[in-house]
Chain A
Amino acid sequence: MEAQQLTTLTGVIDKKMNRQLKQYMDICARCAICKDACHQYVGTGDFTYLPARRAELIRQIYKKYFDKAGRFVPALYEARDPDENLLDELYESTYACTGCRRCMYYCPFSIDTAWILSVAKAILIAAGRGNEMLGQLADAAIFKGDNAAMFEGVMLSGFEDISEEVRAITGNPEHQVHVNKEGADILYVALAGAHSIRPAAVIFEEAGESWTISMFEAANYGYFYGDAEKARLITKRYIDEAKRLGVKEIVVPECGHAYRVAEIFYEAWSGEPMPFKVSHILEKVDEYIKAGRITVDRDKIDGTVTYHDPCQIGRNGGVFDAPRDIVRAVTSRFVELTPNREQQWCCGGGGGIVAMEEFKDVRLKSGGKKVEQLKASGASVLACPCENCRLQIEELNEVHGLGLEVWQVIDLVVAAMPFKATPEADAATM
């Protein structure tokens, strides 16, 4: 292959090299125990999606250019150049990966395939083969941030509409969505969309919380795209805003990756310690319920309720109990999916895959395990925090005719809250 291209691509690995990556490259025994951990491999039986195979592609380059034994006898390791063939397969296996890290959970050496694939994404981007859709969404977010003033009017009137809805729900004329309120305790970094703001606003206002939102959202397509610099820029927006407003705490929405980005990745990208406490909104809601700051009536929700642990919140974020405690507070008919918590199956919709039409087929097939779990649970209502999980499961729901109601957890909470307002208000929360 062309020398220039080769230098660029191996340079990416060199730049990304660190102890853990090196160990993952050196120690994998190719035992393939990971094969049955991966929802995509299990759902499709396609070798491309076997976790160890995804990592093996990077290992082949590593062996050829970064490992003495591999340089000496490349054939022993099938070491090779990052040529077109390799990049074709790498694109397919890397962007399809939802980053759920279930393979890491079962690996006897805890090899983090998703971490290896973050290098794969950097290589693909350097080769001009990054996923276009995710790249465009990341650039759009950066553009929107750079030109915040342009969007301010529209956003402010949107927030005003949501304030109206909040007042209609709670019946309290003083309730509102606070925007850019200096000195608030909490900055709530929502997703773009009323569904992420309205129920949160209802809960914050009812709890008497000192909170505000800003113009910047939590979704981070730079992270899905695999460009650490873009991801950092997108995150930095709300970090800067939090500093300017002087808040004490950042609360991220139900969204899965937003929590991990703020809590775990931002420090690494920016090289500065995260200056704020980061909480997941469900941790806050759980606190409010336990402290009696908000009241929920049990069993206003019909049917049996189950809970899906989004990978980035559960296994990769450590929030297991708060959502369960919330769901148990609103229903006495709670059932677990099996397996659950850190062994929970990925729904198949994470890592930005729902935004990439080209992976629709593998995405739906990879939801097979989730469908089995949901059917086996006998539940009719699913509490599901992550936006990507919800999009995927709603689609699976339709395709497989599961007849499931899929709810955000905060919507369940709002539906269970007693308000002074008229009964119609309850309907507005749906």
Chain B
Amino acid sequence: MDTYLWITSVAGVYVAGVVFVAGIGWRIYEWATTPKSPVRLGMFPKPATTGGRVAKMLTDTLVAPHAARIEPRMWFFAMMFHVAALAAFVGHLRIVQEYPLLPDLLGAEGMNAFAAWAGGIAGTLMMIAVLYWIGRRTFGPFKNLSVPEDYLLLALLLGVIIMGNHMRFFGHVHAAEYREWFQSLLAFRPHVPDAISNSNVGWSLGTHMLFVNALLIYFPFSKLVHTIGSFAANYARSE
């Protein structure tokens, strides 16, 4: 157990962190150093001002109103996934630093209960969305269009989510212990608290992190770079 956690939740995290940051940096550098398209690729109607273009770009990227109009169901699940993922990300920040205000307001018990509900809902919604995407890729034109990369990413996401949900729903370890582990990583004095490794979710954390690391390492080299590229591409729509 200790070896597994050391590989996935200590060494693996460092490796994944470095590859992710360097990879994204490299990707942005590649884009930034390739000359712009000589042709203005915008379509009409275009906002007249830079402010208007930025506002439109943000709306198009964050809300995707056109996609909502043409395939509402896909838009719904995609929105559900992304919003839940954002919520889950925000929730995970607790293991870096406990939030101000809310814990004072709810008390330690109340905060854990709140996190269990919020995290549980986010994790469930993400799982539903990923299952929908997997299902969607099993038939017709969606299947024909899919390449192994698509399935690999969905599999990694599913792994991350299922193991996360397992910790959420079946574990009795709360943020404080995970924070101890994660802050030790940030301080470069890594150690995994016994409360985690001796618990029933030690293996789940290890496996959760295994999938997370794989996803982060592959992230900059996959279509997941749409998370940053879509801002630029949607801006070009108004140029």
Contacts and interface: CB of A to CB of B under 8 A. Distances in A.
A115 B42 CA distance: 11
Given A19-B34, A268-B39, A53 B70 contact: no
Interface string B150-190: 10100000000000000000000000000000000000000
A76 B151 CA distance: 9
Contacts of B234: 109-110
A191 interface: no
A186 B5 CA distance: 76
A36 B233 contact: no
Given A47-B141, A52-B145, A76-B147, A22 B40 contact: no
Given A29-B223, A50-B141, A265 B147 contact: no
Contacts of B148: 75-78
Contact of B43 (A20, A47, A109, A315): A315
A26 B39 contact: no
A77 B221 CA distance: 11
Interface in B204-239: 221-223, 225-226, 229-230, 232-234, 236-237
A108 B64 contact: yes
A26 B164 CA distance: 29
Interface in B19-40: 27, 30-32, 34-40
B147 to A, nearest CB: 5
B117 interface: no
A36 B70 contact: yes
B97 interface: no
Contacts of A47: 141, 144-145
A29 B44 CA distance: 24
Contacts of A50: 141, 145
Given A56-B145, A77-B149, A78-B148, A104 B27 contact: no
A340 B222 CA distance: 36
A136 interface: no
B8 to A, nearest CB: 22
A18 B31 CA distance: 9
Contact of B221 (A32, A68, A315): A68
Contacts of A109: 226, 229-230, 233-234
Contacts of B31: 19, 22-23, 26
A318 B238 CA distance: 12
Interface string A102-129: 0011111111100100000000000000
Contact of B45 (A68, A271, A320): A320
B146 interface: yes
B233 to A, nearest CB: 5
B71 interface: yes
Give the dominant DSSP class at B's interface: helix
Contacts of B71: 33, 36
Contact of B67 (A24, A107, A112, A267): A107
Contacts of B69: 106
Nearest to A339: B69
B36 A20 contact: yes
A355 interface: no
Nearest to B43: A315
Contacts of B225: 26-27
Interface string A338-359: 0000100000000000000000
Nearest to B34: A19
Nearest to B39: A268
Contact of A23 (B74, B222, B233): B233
A68 B22 CA distance: 14
A264 interface: yes
A105 B145 contact: no
A314 interface: yes
Given A31-B78, A111-B233, A18 B35 contact: yes
Contacts of A52: 145
A17 B64 CA distance: 27
Given A27-B230, A31-B78, A33-B67, A264 B40 contact: yes
B2 interface: no
Nearest to B236: A20
B113 interface: no
Nearest to B151: A76
B26 to A, nearest CB: 9
Interface in A138-158: none
B226 A20 contact: no
10 contacts: A20-B36, A22-B31, A31-B74, A32-B145, A35-B141, A56-B145, A105-B43, A108-B66, A110-B233, A115-B37
Given A26-B27, A78-B147, 18 more contacts: A18-B38, A19-B34, A20-B36, A22-B34, A23-B233, A26-B229, A31-B78, A33-B70, A37-B70, A47-B145, A50-B141, A69-B221, A107-B66, A110-B233, A264-B39, A316-B44, A318-B45, A342-B44
In the A-B complex, the 6 residue pairs with the closest CB atoms: A318-B44, A69-B221, A268-B38, A27-B229, A110-B237, A27-B226
